[in-house]
């Protein structure tokens, strides 16, 4: 069946696209999940979808004719007027079994980059290229479950260009298991692999076309699932327990249309080349030992390095700390709240303030699901697009300190503090009304409490396995952008960090990308890193005694 995709008509009068020209035409198999058919086509920019939970609303489409009856999740998401107009959630729909074509409207912002960049790299942003007279380049790639970062470096280690965007596979779902579910079938794996390969081919072509130089070598740092999918290797060992790793990395792969691709060591089924590359970066910095490198991304990898050796573990944190999943969740950007504070005036919000990002932000419309586009609300002088991960963490920490949020994750409708009682007056049907048209619902709190429990449990188990008391840990390095922007006191207040560790916690930046650049330029370092990883102690958390009891004990905010 052909899916003909159109930009949405004006909200006041949704019109038939009979006389319009479709922006994209997708060939889709009958019975396929509609959201995957659209957002894995490579013909529209990727969207960080919630993977069929029916919560994020980003997969909204309008059936231009004969819309199916609404489902309960759609009734909760759309207004009666939107439902009557034909708006539905693509993640809850499949491609029809009959008919030759299906006409769908998508919000205009879903097409914002298509015309300019085509199907390759439409979401990626990059710095201006520094001309290098055609010098040979190495391309470092950090392929995360949610995002893709790249950096082109000269033989001297200077940055020629760099950029980032959403992982183009995001339409398959925001978490690792959603990707693996698609990749279990050879055709699904081929589609996912080609989306990323196409993105990297576009990057290398642009670098050469703009005179930066020709990429001679690529280093891909990614978790084992993303690595296997990129290489189009069988993923069955990662799909069900007992998990097994069929590719240990520290090898060069041939990928059509790309220079040789080096994959760093992959020590365990869910501890991959992104963790080992990050470790290489910290070792090159001569980080004081013992230290822990913790990635607060979807896959939650952790490494403890002591003078006695290396301990590794991973814990699925899910995409909540990437701004995906919570009802008002958004990745940090223009119009997004990145922090909250409780002041004498009540809850106040801090907005993302990056002029460059604001200038590059997509336009929004009445068809967009974000609160900023839902229309004006009395008493609100500025609407927000949503709340970032740091915004949620600072919000929960503020509510916990005020006594409005209980340690068990429930909101107290009658807290003792007068200021907290004023904020609690915004509780309506279990949801807390927030400034700028935002809201906090119980499911959001529960999801973040699960993330807190998993992270704290993994950190405690890793230190215990390595025989390192909290007081004896020299440094905790938080990898990724969240570590740069999150309030460490918020993490300690919520119980992500043990009491007193915030003062020894440092934002490490994108260690996976830094390490990938290092390994791309200095291949010999990969051999030494592989020796360290082969001798590592890998901690399988779910196989630890009292795992269930320890997890339940951690299901509380605070110390």
Give per-residue pLDDT as tens, 156-198: 999 999 999 999 999 998 889 999 999 999 999 999 999 999 9
Indicate if 149 and 246 belong to the same structural domain.
yes
CA 322 to chain centre: 4
Q: Quick check: bond before 242 cis, omega within 30?
A: yes
Indicate if 404 and 279 belong to the same structural domain.
no
Indicate if 151 and 249 belong to the same structural domain.
yes
| Assigned domain for 202 exists | yes
pLDDT at 55: 74
Q: Are strands 251-253 and 261-263 parallel, antiparallel or unpaired?
A: antiparallel
Q: How many domains does the chain have?
A: 3
- Rounded to whole angstroms, the Cα distance separating 436 from 502 reads 31
Indicate if 84 and 209 belong to the same structural domain.
no
- Rounded to whole angstroms, the Cα distance separating 140 from 142 reads 7
Indicate if 29 and 153 belong to the same structural domain.
no
**Range(s) of the domain holding residue 420:** 327-353+384-440
pLDDT at 14: 44
| Assigned domain for 463 exists | no
The answer to whether 337 and 387 have CB atoms below 8 angstroms apart is yes
Q: Specify the CATH number for the domain of residue 10.
A: 3.10.20.30
Give per-residue pLDDT as tens, 57-74: 889 999 999 999 999 999
Domain final position from 95, 110, 125: 110
Indicate if 101 and 142 belong to the same structural domain.
no
Indicate if 99 and 36 belong to the same structural domain.
yes
Quote the mean pLDDT of the chain: 89
Give per-residue pLDDT as tens, 194-243: 999 999 999 999 999 999 999 999 999 999 999 999 999 999 999 998 99
pLDDT at 133: 61
Indicate if 103 and 141 belong to the same structural domain.
no
Domain final position from 50, 76, 110: 110
Q: Are strands 537-539 and 309-314 parallel, antiparallel or unpaired?
A: parallel
Domain final position from 406, 424, 440: 440
pLDDT at 67: 96
Which of 410, 448, 424 has its CA nearest to residue 342?
424
| Assigned domain for 94 exists | yes
| Assigned domain for 40 exists | yes
| Assigned domain for 39 exists | yes
| Assigned domain for 508 exists | no
List of the chain residues with pLDDT < 70: 9-22, 112-134, 354-381
pLDDT at 117: 37
Indicate if 162 and 276 belong to the same structural domain.
yes
Give the contacts of 67 (CB within 8 A, at least 6 positions apart).
86, 87, 88
Give per-residue pLDDT as tens, 110-153: 775 443 333 333 334 556 555 556 689 999 999 999 999 999 99
pTM: 0.88
Q: How many CB atoms lie within 10 A of CB 518?
A: 23
- Rounded to whole angstroms, the Cα distance separating 399 from 403 reads 6
Indicate if 173 and 247 belong to the same structural domain.
yes
| Assigned domain for 246 exists | yes
CA 477 to chain centre: 19
pLDDT at 353: 78
Indicate if 280 and 342 belong to the same structural domain.
no
Q: Specify the CATH number for the domain of residue 206.
A: 3.30.420.480
Indicate if 198 and 266 belong to the same structural domain.
yes
Which of 207, 198, 84 has its CA nearest to residue 138?
207
| Assigned domain for 419 exists | yes
């Amino acid at each position: 069946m052909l899916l003909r995709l159109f930009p949405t008509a004006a909200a006041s009068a949704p019109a038939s696209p009979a006389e319009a020209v479709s922006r994209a035409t997708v060939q889709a198999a009958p019975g396929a999940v509609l959201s995957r058919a659209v957002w894995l086509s490579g013909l529209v920019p990727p969207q960080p979808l919630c993977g069929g939970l029916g919560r994020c609303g980003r997969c909204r489409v309008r059936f231009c004719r004969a819309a199916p009856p609404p489902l309960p999740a759609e009734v909760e998401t759309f207004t009666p007027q939107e439902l009557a107009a034909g708006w539905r959630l693509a993640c809850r729909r499949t491609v029809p079994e009959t008919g030759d074509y299906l006409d769908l409207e998508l919000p205009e912002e879903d097409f914002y980059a298509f015309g300019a960049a085509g199907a390759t790299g439409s979401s990626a942003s990059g710095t201006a290229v520094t001309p290098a007279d055609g010098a040979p380049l190495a391309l470092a790639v950090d392929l995360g479950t949610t995002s893709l970062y790249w950096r082109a470096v000269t033989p001297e280690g200077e940055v020629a260009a760099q950029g980032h965007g959403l992982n183009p596979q995001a339409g398959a779902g925001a978490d690792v298991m959603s990707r693996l579910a698609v990749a279990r079938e050879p055709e699904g794996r081929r589609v996912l692999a080609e989306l990323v390969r196409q993105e990297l081919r576009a990057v290398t072509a642009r670098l050469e076309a703009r005179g930066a130089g020709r990429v001679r070598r690529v280093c891909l740092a990614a978790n084992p699932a993303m690595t296997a999918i990129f290489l189009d290797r069988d993923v069955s060992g990662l799909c069900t327990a007992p998990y097994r790793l069929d590719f240990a990395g520290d090898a060069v792969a041939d990928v059509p249309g790309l220079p040789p691709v080096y994959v760093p060591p992959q020590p365990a089924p869910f501890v991959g080349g992104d963790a080992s590359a990050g470790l290489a970066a910290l070792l090159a910095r001569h980080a004081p030992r013992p230290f822990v490198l913790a990635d607060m991304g979807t896959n939650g990898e952790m490494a403890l390095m002591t003078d006695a050796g290396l301990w590794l573990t991973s814990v699925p944190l899910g995409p909540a700390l990437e701004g995906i999943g919570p009802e008002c969740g958004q990745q940090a950007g223009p119009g997004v709240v990145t922090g909250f504070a409780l002041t004498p005036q009540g809850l106040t919000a801090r907005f993302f303030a990056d002029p460059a990002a604001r200038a590059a932000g997509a336009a929004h419309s009445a068809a967009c699901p974000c609160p900023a586009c839902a229309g004006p609300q009395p008493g609100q002088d500025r609407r927000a697009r949503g709340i970032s991960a740091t915004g949620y963490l600072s919000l929960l920490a503020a509510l916990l300190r005020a006594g409005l949020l209980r340690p068990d994750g429930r909101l107290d409708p009658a807290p003792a503090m007068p200021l907290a009682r004023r904020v609690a007056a915004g509780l309506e049907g279990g949801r807390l009304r927030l400034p700028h048209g935002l809201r906090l619902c119980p499911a959001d709190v529960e999801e973040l409490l699960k993330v807190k429990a998993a992270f704290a449990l993994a950190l405690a188990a890793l230190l215990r396995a390595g025989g390192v008391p909290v007081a004896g840990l020299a440094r905790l390095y938080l990898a990724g952008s969240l570590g740069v922007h999150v309030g460490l006191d918020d993490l300690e207040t919520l119980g992500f960090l043990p009491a007193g560790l915030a003062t020894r916690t440092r934002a490490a930046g994108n260690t996976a990308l830094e390490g990938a650049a290092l390994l791309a330029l200095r291949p010999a370092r990969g051999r030494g890193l592989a020796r360290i990883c082969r001798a590592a102690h890998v901690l399988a958390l779910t196989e630890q005694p009292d795992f269930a009891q320890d997890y339940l004990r951690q299901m509380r905010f605070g110390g």
